[in-house]
Amino acid sequence: MILTSLPLTPDHDIPVPLLTELTALYASNREFHALSGDFPDPDDIRPEQVATALADELVNPDVEVLLARSSGRLVGIAINLAHHPDPADPDPWIGLLMVDAGMQRQGYGRQLASLVEDRFRAAGRTAVRLAVLENNPRGLAFWTALGYEVIDHRKDRQRGRPCAVLRKELR
């Protein structure tokens, strides 16, 4: 698996062929988007919606969008936050880790999470956090299987959705 930063055009747009791939990736995860409510209609996710969602993330200079490819195919995306807005929180965050639904349960999610953790380790970070929607037991099972531990329950900052906050020491 190869991990690269999201490339943008000189106008700070996502190149159209890549936006098409990203839209297919997001659309393949209909079940997650139905839980999250991130898109008005999880059965009709459009390129302009994906572009807007990613542009909204990239407004924050601490956000990094990473693309995961295997054999040239886009298999996943990770959106990371180097510094949480709460100054009392010292850890970086994984804001989103999503694998193409047609390629799930093949180890891509585990590999992508490991590569993200390696990036944080290389940057000298000693732990990482993330939040899982309380209504997403599959997501919680995935992250706890990777060694993440629930440390809190609270609402997310953007939409007030109930979440479990997880943390993992990076050794």
**C-alpha distances out from residue 125 to 25, 42, 91, 122, 170, Å:** 29, 35, 7, 7, 7
Give the start-to-end residue ranges of the domains of the chain: 2-169
Query: Which pLDDT band holds residue 165 (cuts at 50, 70, 90)?
Result: very high
pLDDT tens sequence across 105-114: 999 999 999 9
> Is the CATH code 3.40.630.30 the one for domain 2-169?
yes
Q: pLDDT band for position 71 (50/70/90)?
A: very high
Q: pLDDT tens-digit profile of 117-149?
A: 999 999 999 999 999 999 999 999 999 999 999
pLDDT band at 158 (very low <50, low <70, confident <90, very high): confident
